[in-house]
């Protein structure tokens, strides 16, 4: 089976046309016509992930985050992107990224968060006008759903910490009400805060919030930052499950490398 077959299958799930204009999803390095020897799925593509692919005989890495994201004018070995790209090329390993196109579908990145929180009655938070997937579902950013039961704020945050194995999270002051309607956006979702304020939403979970952005909640809803990598930690398993369902007899592996670049100093 050629790498192009894997790519076509991924893009039937999350077409490249769904990605944001600033993104770089798709095949970044590699020959799409080469036979695929195995697939390794990861959140990020680092040198350690390349080494793991080599050790496991996989010549295709499917990561959520693209290794080449912003414009690069120089490829020098002192930069980690160059080292990753060079190692991939030297070992004939193809690198494919499925990023904001996977963010923008109902059964993509945000599904992996909503499943953990057991949200019901799910819908896209910010649908793109007139754009629907092959199942007729809207395409767009974020997701909104409902908890099975109204939940106390402190109990809910403790539950989120448990489900996402968090050592800490950041949140705005409590709004002193039971939580039912939950919005979420894996990765950086501050651009959705104004939209959340305009809807009857009790809590918004996302990451990468700046200090002044917490003020924007203005007591109208509970705003929670669980961390970027933490919010997307289940995405590799989501990709593995999708590809395994399409290619049940093929080697589709989840990376064992923890690519999280952020560490927390605990007491």
Residue 173: partners with Cβ closer than 8 Å, 6 or more residues away? 219
Average pLDDT over residues 172-179: 97
Q: Which two tokens stand for residue 98?
A: 């499925």
Predicted local confidence at residue 77, as pLDDT: 86
Kindly list the strands in the beta sheet with 120-132, ordered across the sheet, starting from the edge strand earlier in the chain. 120-132, 138-151, 179-188, 203-207, 222-225, 170-171
Out of 79, 102, 125, pick the residue that ends a domain.
102
Buried b (16+ CB within 10 A) or exposed e, 38-58: ebbbbbbbbebbbebbbeeeb
pLDDT at 267 over 80: no
pLDDT confidence band for 74 (50 / 70 / 90): confident
Predicted local confidence at residue 78, as pLDDT: 86
Question: How many Cβ atoms are within 10 Å of 186's Cβ, its own excluded?
Answer: 29
Q: Residue 247 falls within a domain, yes or no?
A: no
Q: What is the CATH number of the domain that holds 124?
A: 3.40.1390.30
Predicted local confidence at residue 71, as pLDDT: 78
Same domain, residue pair 34 and 122 = no
Q: Which two tokens stand for residue 166?
A: 């968090």
Same domain, residue pair 153 and 226 = yes
Digit-coded pLDDT (tens) for 112-121:
999 999 999 9
Digit-coded pLDDT (tens) for 204-214:
999 999 999 99
Mean pLDDT estimate for the chain: 96
pLDDT confidence band for 266 (50 / 70 / 90): confident
Q: Please give the tally of structural domains in the chain.
A: 2
Average pLDDT over residues 155-180: 97
Predicted local confidence at residue 1, as pLDDT: 95
The answer, as to whether pTM is greater than 0.85, is yes
Same domain, residue pair 109 and 142 = yes
Structural contact between residues 191 and 246, judged by C-beta atoms closer than 8 angstroms: no
């Amino acid at each position: 089976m050629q790498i192009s077959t894997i790519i076509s299958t991924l893009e039937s799930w999350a077409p490249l046309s769904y990605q944001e204009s600033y993104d770089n999803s798709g095949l970044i390095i590699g020959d799409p016509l080469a036979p695929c020897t195995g697939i390794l799925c990861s959140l990020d593509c680092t040198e350690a992930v390349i080494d793991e692919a080599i050790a496991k005989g996989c010549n295709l890495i499917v990561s959520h985050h693209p290794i080449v994201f912003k414009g690069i004018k120089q490829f020098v070995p002192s930069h980690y992107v160059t080292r990753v790209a060079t190692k991939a090329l030297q070992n004939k390993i193809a690198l494919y990224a499925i990023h904001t196109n996977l963010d923008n579908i109902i059964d993509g990145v945000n599904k992996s968060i909503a499943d953990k929180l057991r949200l019901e009655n799910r819908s896209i938070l910010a649908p793109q006008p007139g754009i629907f997937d092959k199942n007729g579902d809207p395409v767009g950013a974020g997701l909104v759903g409902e908890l099975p039961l109204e939940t106390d704020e402190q109990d809910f945050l403790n539950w989120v910490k448990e489900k996402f194995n968090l050592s800490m999270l950041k949140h705005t002051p409590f709004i002193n009400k039971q939580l039912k309607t939950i919005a979420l956006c894996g990765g950086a979702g501050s651009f959705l805060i104004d939209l959340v304020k305009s809807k009857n939403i009790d809590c918004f979970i996302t990451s990468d919030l700046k200090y002044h952005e917490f003020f924007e909640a203005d007591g109208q809803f509970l705003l929670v930052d669980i961390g970027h990598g933490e919010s997307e930690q289940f995405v590799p398993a989501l990709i593995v499950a999708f590809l395994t369902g399409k290619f049940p007899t093929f080697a589709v592996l989840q990376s064992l490398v923890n690519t999280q670049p952020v560490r927390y100093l605990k007491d």
